Structure 1
Amino acid sequence: MPNRAIIKTDKAPAAAGTYSQAVKVNNTVYLSGQIGIDPQSQEMVCGSFADEVRQVFRNLKAVCEAANGTLQHIVKLNLYITDSDNFACVNEVMTEFFQEPYPARATVAVKELPLGAQFEAEGVMVP
């Protein structure tokens, strides 16, 4: 694939499996799922659910920046939560990182996420 580039940054957690932090094809960037891992310690952040959500969005932001974009360039955002009672908290924290117009979004409640995470976000960006 001639117009394909792998995006990698040490400002977000290293990939913990057989995937890239993001892949750019032509002018579209596919952002892999991020959980609340601190990129310095490579461990889950401690604290509240809101703290975990903030770390996820900081990680996603770092990958966007490595691809020469910002969170505002995300056109589609997929969110995964282990407890749908936390939906309102996700919306509240999102306003700290995103402004209108917001990206298209899906939020899915799941049984569990890697490393005991309670929240994960992935997206598609067009810088």
Structure 2
Amino acid sequence: MSCNTASRSPIIEHYQSEEMAALGLPFSDAVRVDNMLYLSGVIGMKPGKMELVEGGLEAEARQTMENIKKVLEAHGSSLEHAIKFTVFIDDINRWSDFNKVYVEYFPGKKPARSAFGAEGLALGASVEVECIAVIVD
């Protein structure tokens, strides 16, 4: 059995949108490692504003998914190429309310997913979602 011992440095790129930079947020929207894209936690913020959309959990969930879609597409991926989601929800008893929105974005094959009840999400959000996706160059 032989092993390839040639080493190569991975491609690592940090992406911060102008929108997030203008808000002064101290993190990257996403980090690319080779052909993988790791998104920071995303909440239902109105585009370009440090405030949540109005309407509660379902409205926040929809805006969260739209925000994720935007970041994925800006960096060479898409919801179709998302492979793992981690969902943090402030009231795990409202899981089905989140799922009503989530399935709209994944009517066919669905990514792997974990969910956790969480307290104290950013801006008092009802839901926060992390995503891992493949970049399709």
TM-score when normalising by structure 2 = 0.83
Instruction: Give yes or no for the alignment of 1:85 onto 2:84.
Output: no
Please list every run of at least 4 consecutive aligned residues from structure 1 whose deviation after the TM superposition is greater than 3 angstroms.
Answer: none
Cα deviation per residue 1:9-65 (whole Å; 9 max; x = unaligned)? 35xx61664310000111000011001101133311111310010010011111000
Q: What residue in structure 2 maps to residue 5 of structure 1? A: 13
Partner of 2:130: 122
Q: Give the match for residue 98 of structure 1.
A: 106
Q: Which moved more, 1:56-65 or 1:98-107?
A: 98-107
SS at match of 1:43: coil
How many residue pairs are counted as aligned between the two chains?
Answer: 125
- 1:14 counterpart residue number: 20
Aligned to 1:27: 35
Distance 2:63 2:51 in 1: 11
* Bigger Rg over Cα: 2
Aligned mate of 1:64, from 67, 72, 82: 72
SS in 2 for 1:39: coil
Instruction: Flag the 1:23–1:57 CA change in 2: closer, same or farther, 3 A.
Output: same
- CA offset at residue 105 of structure 1? 0.3
The amino acid across from 1:92 in the alignment is K
Q: CA deviation at 1:2?
A: 5.4
1:56 is paired with a residue whose SS is helix
Same amino acid, percent of matched pairs: 35
1:14 partner SS: helix
Give the structure-1-normalised TM-score.
Answer: 0.89
Structure 2 unaligned runs (5+)?
A: 1-8
- The structure carrying a bigger strand percent of its residues is 1
